[in-house]
Structure 1
Amino acid sequence: METYTTDDALTLIGFGKFQALVLTYAGMGWLTEAMEVMLLSFLGPVVREEWNVSPQDESLLSSVVFAGMLIGACAWGFISDRYGRKTVLLLSTLLTSGMGFLSALSPNYLCLLVLRFFVGIGVGSGHVFTSWFLEFVPAGNRGTWMVILSFFWTIGTVLEASLAWAVLSALSWRWLLALTALPCFLLLPFFRITPESPRYLCAQNRMTDARLVLERMAIANQGALPVGVLTYHQETKTDYITHVSEDEHLIPVREKEHTVRNAIRSKSGAIAALRELLSHNLLRSTLLLWFVYYASSFAYYGIALLTSQLSDVNRSCKSGLIFEVHQNDGNLYKDTFITSLAEIPGLILSALLVDRFGRKATMWSLMFACCAFLGPLVLHQNELLTTTLLFGARACGTGTTTILCLYAPEVYPTSVRSTGVGIATAIGKIGGVICPLVAVGMLRNCHQMEAVLVFELVLFLAGVACILFPVETKGREMD
């Protein structure tokens, strides 16, 4: 009997109107996360002014959001692999929008702190939106469409900076919180027409449901499904499992032997999924991805902080004064816009490189380029050169993060994809929590050289880790 896989169907149907709608929905999820993260740049100072909280409590407001994102990234990944992508899309959207609106009504600082923690848990689902979208995209052009998806993040950062500029100059910070939660709320009316991932359905042995989704896709794209019966894996001549190396495990499913993961797909829990991620087949990829995710987040948020800190450091440390931040709102908005706009050339660069040179080569080359841009900053530079170097570093860092968010879902099989990416994302959030200790704490003590060298070391090691990834996923079918 003739059979075909999900990859066969997606290749024949192609990228069309159906995937464009999925891209828009997933992109709105990313836009929401970007706005909530960017909000942290503006919320702390206005809350400190209204409720007269200490600087430590002000920084705690950001820390609890990242702590929530860390927990959410792990939890949503497991729920997605266990109960489906759609379940996570709905629950996380309800949590993020609901807690976001309630935050605007907070009567005191403690209440705001708790509500923002739950907002962090909600937006920790961003990686599920990414994996869900990629599971609808044909193998040949996943890189390009992942870069396009990443533009929604950049739009979110620019939109939030613009919104903060307009709202905080005329209205209360409570309006800013409510309006920031609005895009997430707008996702809810479209949930009923949102499809479940056909790859997930196949992994759960729900072939009829998977075929119905593929038929909807074919109709929307004015295409046709392959002839035959839909199967999870292509039929092979052998029916036994052999011990394979990690490289062999990660080659296209047509070329590997049929492996059944019923223990993970059905009744097993997080322990079984983690055991699979740390198995002989995936251990090297998993450990390297954990470190690169950590380094990528460390650099991404750290460079954003450096943008707003270095000019003040140069003035204060040269004059021998104790470091204080003397930055008016206009400079804060200007720095935010510069940081956000630097992502655009980074996305364009990654789009040009990823499908030509592959995921691994693009990531390590951009990591090393980021090191090169930061290198001159070990010494004090004038403001124009500092801004230019940080602009280049941020562009390269954004490109690397974009390709990493594409590479990780391609590496893991469907049965543990969201769990694997979720844990890696959570580890990345630890980098976001730690980087202020370097980017702000060391700079306040006039240790610019030491701070920049720490970033250089982390980025260099991450570049080496990218070289050591065991497989190139360019053009590879997703298991």
Structure 2
Amino acid sequence: MMEDSGAAAECAREDGIAMNPIHGPYGHVAQEESRSIDVEEAISRIGYGWYQKRLMFLSAALWMADSMEVSLLSFLYSCVGASLNLTPVRAASIVSIVFAGELVGSAVAGPAADALGRKPASLAAAGVVAVAGIATAAAPSFAVFVVLRGIVGVGVGALAVPFDLAAEFLPNDSRGKNLTLLEFAWAGGAMYATAASWATGRNWRLLVLACALPFVFAFLAATLFLDESPVWLVSRGKTAEAQSVVAKVAKVNGSTTATYAFKQVPTKAAAASWTRLWAKDLRTKTFLVWVVWIGFGLDFYGISLLVTKLFDRQGADCAFRYPFILLVTTSEIAGAAALLFSIDRLGRVKAQAIPYVVAASSLVPILFFLDTTWVVFSCLYLALGAQMMASSAAWVHVPELFPTDVRSTAHSFALAVSRLSAFASSYVVDSTLPLPFVVLVLAAAALASALASLALPETLGAHLA
């Protein structure tokens, strides 16, 4: 019998199969044959289950809270300005300081996540937003308020990292749809912020607190349940830790799959810096991604600001036609639903290009029907929904375009340039520029994003590098 076992083991070795089971903190996995494969294939063989559902819930909570903080800006701009009798320039600093903080957060978090891990960067981002968000509600002066909002921006700018973490835990065949589901949380966050503003009236402190509390719960849950990405662990040569995490995924999912030994991958002493984005093999992708993200940053936030501007009650500060604003915000749900249906049918490229063109086409009629409320409403609804669909596809696309050693850096810097254009949108929309010019700028940005996305490679069905 022992001779038969030895012969079987020898045959297994010749076939590239390891018979040794893995022991770890999640118990002994059944002694089945263990093949040398990459970690993504192991995740795919285990399949989508309760572990991913829990992870998606955590990611959705962070994503929803992020959306609340961003959507909050247009209301704070008016309400805090009116409450403290701020000049237009000082009121605009409420928006600009958050975007400035996001630039810092994006520039720091991406490289940190690639060097130190997705988990610590994600927890740091959530913790910063939770603490600074609550502290903002008690700010004793405008100066302190602005500083705290800037710190909130730093945390929000780092939230591309949890998105990448989720992408690296999802099986290849369900990654697109599941990442798209996170966009429903974004839309829900925008609706929550609008409803909270409506419910709290002119009390901006209550509004800030209402939008910060969900982040506290998300942070606490992430602290308890978030694991490090096994894809990142393998890329850093931490194979044993990656096997432990994958064993946990299998245990939570109730998988009876064999235990797989991971292929050895080239590791580096340090993570790639942002300059790696401009290496010969990545520079074209980086440039095109930045064009796409600059365009949708200007458009998504510009259209959102245009909604509040056009449906602001004339002559009133911190007073909006909330039913119209809330109804237009539901277009984000419609955009996410359209992407959920099409992301694995059209692919990542067409799912961006087509709605960008739709968004541009939807804005132009506003120029001719400004006095017709239902036409303006319909155009803004369609434009914002299309932007939601296209930008959500862009979020799915980027993690699949770049390799693991620079994935979070690439994603965070893309987020940074989109925040730059979003920052510019407040000065385009909330300015003395004529409305026709504003609309044409937004339409041109959407078309530029469409053209750039068409030049990017399709990643539908592709494995993470």
TM-score by length of 1: 0.86
Letter in 2 for 1:462: S
Q: Deviations over 1:362-390 (max 9, x none)?
A: 11111111111112223234111111011
Partner of 1:354: 343
Which of 361, 364, 368 pairs up with 1:379? 368
Partner of 2:129: 96
Partner of 1:364: 353
Cα displacement (A) at 1:46? 2.8
CA contact (8 A) 1:364 1:467 kept: yes
Partner of 1:307: 307
Q: What is the alpha-carbon root mean square deviation over aligned residues?
A: 1.8
Alignment of 1:76-115 (within 5 A): 76-115=109-148
2 CA distance for matches of 1:44 and 1:228?
54
2 CA distance for matches of 1:177 and 1:436?
20
Alignment of 1:106-185 (within 5 A): 106-168=139-201, 172-185=203-216
CA contact (8 A) 1:308 1:335 kept: no
Q: Deviations over 1:136-163 (max 9, x none)?
A: 1111121111111111111111112222
1 CA distance for matches of 2:165 and 2:301?
25
Letter in 2 for 1:341: T
Alignment of 1:16-31 (within 5 A): 16-31=49-64
Letter in 1 for 2:243: R
Q: Does 1:450 align with 2:437?
A: yes
Q: Does 1:187 align with 2:218?
A: yes
Letter in 1 for 2:191: V
Structure 1 SS opposite 2:169: coil
Cα displacement (A) at 1:227? 5.0
1:216 to 1:326, Cα distance in 2 relative to 1, 3 A: same
Partner of 1:212: 244
Partner of 2:46: 13
Q: Does 1:392 align with 2:344?
A: no
2 CA distance for matches of 1:128 and 1:228?
27
Partner of 1:439: 429
Structure 2 SS opposite 1:477: coil
5+ residue gaps, structure 2, are 1-15, 18-35
CA contact (8 A) 2:81 2:87 kept: yes
5+ residue gaps, structure 1, are 234-259, 313-323
Which of 318, 336, 352 pairs up with 2:325? 336
1:462 to 1:178, Cα distance in 2 relative to 1, 3 A: same
1:459 to 1:50, Cα distance in 2 relative to 1, 3 A: closer
Q: How many residues align?
A: 430
Partner of 2:231: 199
1:277 to 1:368, Cα distance in 2 relative to 1, 3 A: same
Partner of 2:280: 280
2 CA distance for matches of 1:283 and 1:393?
30
1:456 to 1:49, Cα distance in 2 relative to 1, 3 A: closer
CA contact (8 A) 1:15 1:137 kept: yes
CA contact (8 A) 1:8 1:226 kept: no
2 CA distance for matches of 1:418 and 1:80?
6
Partner of 1:478: 464
Letter in 1 for 2:375: L
Cα displacement (A) at 1:36? 0.9
Range that drifts further, 220-229 or 451-460: 220-229
1:261 to 1:458, Cα distance in 2 relative to 1, 3 A: farther
2 CA distance for matches of 1:232 and 1:332?
59
1 CA distance for matches of 2:173 and 2:103?
32
